[in-house]
C-alpha cells in the first residue's frame, strides 16, 4: 500500500496548501494506476474545510481508500463523531491512524458505527498488547496495520497484525519477509527481517 499524508506544523514541517496536496495525490494516483499497489490518500488536516475536498478528490479520482490521523481532540466521543464525519465523505475504505490515547474501546466503536472504517494503523499505546483483543472484538473484521517503523515485525505477525507500514528505505525487504512468513517459510522470514535489523544497527 502506498499513501500520501501531510506535513504537520506541530512537528516543525511546512504545511502544504490544498492545491499542493491535491497535486501530490494526483501524482500518487497516476503512479499507481494499472499496477498492483493500492493507493491511499491522507486527508487529515486541523482545518475541516480542507478535509472535505481532499476526501472527495480521492474518491472521484480512484483512490483505493483514505487515511486520517486524528486531530487534537482528547474526548473520545468527540473523536468518534469526527471520524463519523470523515467516513461519510466517501464510500471508500477509511484507515484510522491511531496515535496518542486512542483506545481499543474507541477503535471497536468506530468499527461498529462507521461502515467504511475497516482498517487501523495502530500506533497508540502498546499495539502489541492490544492487537489480539482488537482482532477478537471485531471478529477479525478490522485490518490491523503496525507502524513505528515496524521494528517488531515478526512478533506483530505472530500476534495478528495483517499489514505493516515500515520506513520506506528497505520496504522491498520488509515485503519479502512478509511474503515468506505468510507462505509458511518462517525461518526464511526471520532471516530476511534479521537483515533489516542488521542494516539498521
Q: Tell me which DSSP letter residue 173 carries.
A: H
Sheet architecture: strand order including 2-4: 2-4, 39-42, 65-68, 94-98, 117-122, 143-149, 163-166
Query: Using the 8-state DSSP alphabet, how is residue 71 labeled?
Result: -
pLDDT tens, residue by residue, 150-189 = 999 999 999 999 999 998 888 899 999 999 999 999 999 9
For 3, the enclosing helix (H) or strand (E) is strand 2-4
Residues 6+ apart with CB under 8 A from 76: 103, 105, 106
Strands (E), 94-171: 94-98, 117-122, 143-149, 163-166
Proportion of the chain above pLDDT 90, given as a percent: 80
CA 82, CA 70: separation in Å to the nearest integer?
8
Q: Grid coordinates standing for 13? A: 514541517
Look up residue 148 and give its three cell numbers: 513505528
pLDDT for 85-108, tens place per residue? 999 999 999 999 999 889 999 999
Per-residue confidence band for 60, with pLDDT thresholds at 50, 70 and 90: very high
Amino acid at each position: 500500500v502506498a499513501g500520501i499524508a501531510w506535513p504537520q506544523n506541530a512537528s516543525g514541517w511546512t504545511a502544504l496548501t490544498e492545491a499542493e496536496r491535491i497535486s501530490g495525490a494526483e501524482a500518487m494516483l497516476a503512479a499507481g494506476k494499472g499496477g498492483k499497489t493500492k493507493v491511499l490518500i491522507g486527508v487529515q488536516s486541523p482545518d475541516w474545510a480542507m478535509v472535505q475536498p481532499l476526501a472527495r478528490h480521492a474518491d472521484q479520482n480512484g483512490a483505493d481508500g483514505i487515511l486520517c490521523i486524528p486531530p487534537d481532540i482528547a474526548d473520545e466521543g468527540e473523536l468518534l463523531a469526527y471520524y463519523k464525519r470523515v467516513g461519510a465523505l466517501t464510500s471508500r475504505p477509511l484507515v484510522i491512524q491511531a496515535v496518542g490515547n486512542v483506545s481499543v474501546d474507541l477503535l471497536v466503536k468506530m468499527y461498529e458505527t462507521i461502515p467504511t472504517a475497516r482498517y487501523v494503523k495502530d500506533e497508540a499505546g502498546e499495539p502489541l498488547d492490544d492487537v489480539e483483543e482488537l482482532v477478537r472484538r471485531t471478529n477479525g473484521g478490522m485490518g490491523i496495520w503496525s507502524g513505528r517503523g515496524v521494528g517488531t515485525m515478526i512478533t506483530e505477525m505472530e500476534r495478528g497484525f495483517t499489514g505493516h507500514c515500515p520506513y520506506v528505505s528497505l520496504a522491498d525487504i520488509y515485503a519479502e519477509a512478509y511474503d515468506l512468513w505468510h507462505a509458511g517459510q518462517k525461518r526464511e522470514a526471520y532471516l530476511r527481517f534479521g537483515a533489516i535489523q542488521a542494516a539498521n544497527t
